Amino acid sequence: MGASLSNLTEGAGMGGPGLGDIPESCVACVFMYLTPPEICNLARLNRAFRGAASSDSVWENKLPSNYQDLLHILPPDRYLNSSKKDIFALLSRPLPFDDGNKEVWLDRVTGRVCMSISAKGMSITGIEDRRYWTWVPTEESRLHLGRFSKRLGRRVCNFDHTHGWDIKPVRFELSTSDGQQASCEFCLDETEQVEANGNQKRGCWIDYKVGEFIVTDSEPATEVKFSMKQIDCTHSKGGLCVDSVFIIPSDLKARKRRGILK
C-alpha cells in the first residue's frame, strides 16, 4: 500500500502520471477549498503540493478581511516581509492587548476571529471592595495575569467553596450596536446538565452560553455589550470564580463538543 501511494505521488519514474505532475497553480486552486490543517497535511506529498501550500494567494483566502487590524496589535517587525502563510500562523496564536487583559486570535480551521476578555478587563460592581471580590491569579485561568496562587495546596477555583448560586438564577444578557439582543438565565450549579443549554464544562470551569449575534460586515465595527446579573438579597452567596468571557464563532463550540477539535 505504501509503495502504491509513492508511485501515485511522484510517478516513481515509471512513465505513468502521478500527483507530482499536477501543475502547482492547479493544486493551489484546489487548496482554496480546503482548511489550513488539510493544506498542511497535503503539503507533505510532493514538491508541487509544498509550493502551492506556501502560496500567498492560498493563505490570503484563509485570512479574514480585517486581518490587518489584528496585525496592528503587534510591533511591525513581527510581520513585515512575512508570507501570508506565516501571518496566518502568527495570528492563530493568542495575541494579548489592552495591558494583557484581552486576547484575540484566529481559529486554525476556519480563520475566523476569536476573542477572550479576562476578569480584569471587565467592569465588575464592587471589584475594589475586598469584602466582595478578591483577585487571585491561578494557573487554571486562560489568561495568566500575575503570579499563580494556591491555598493550602488546593486549587483556588474549587466548587467546594461555592454556595448560594443554585437558589436563584443569574441573568446573562448581550446586545450589539446594530440592535441584536439575547438573554438567558442559569443557576450556577456544577451539577446542572450544561450541554443541554449549549454550555460546556472545562475541568472545574463551566462555560455558559449567553447567546449568538451575526456580524455581516467588519465595517463599521460592531460593538458588543455583555452583562451578568443576580440581584437578590434574600440569601447569602459566595465562592464564585469569574475567569473570562469568550467571543467565538458559534460552529467552533459545536465542533469542540463533537470532538472534532482537540
Structure confidence by residue, pLDDT tens digits, 107-124: 999 999 999 999 989 999
What is the reported pTM?
0.78
Mean pLDDT confidence for 29-44: 94
Q: Say how far apart CA 241 and CA 119 lie, in whole Å.
A: 9
Task: Pick from 118-122, 135-139, 195-199 the range whose average pLDDT is largest.
Answer: 118-122
What is the per-residue pLDDT for 163? 82
Side-chain-side CA neighbours of residue 207 (13 Å): 21
**Count of residues for the chain?**
262
Provide the β-strand partners of residue 227: 173
CA 16 to chain centre: 45
SS3 104: strand
Q: pLDDT-based confidence at 144, cuts 50/70/90?
A: low
Mean residue pLDDT across the chain? 81
Question: Phi/psi of residue 256, each to 5°?
Answer: -65, -40
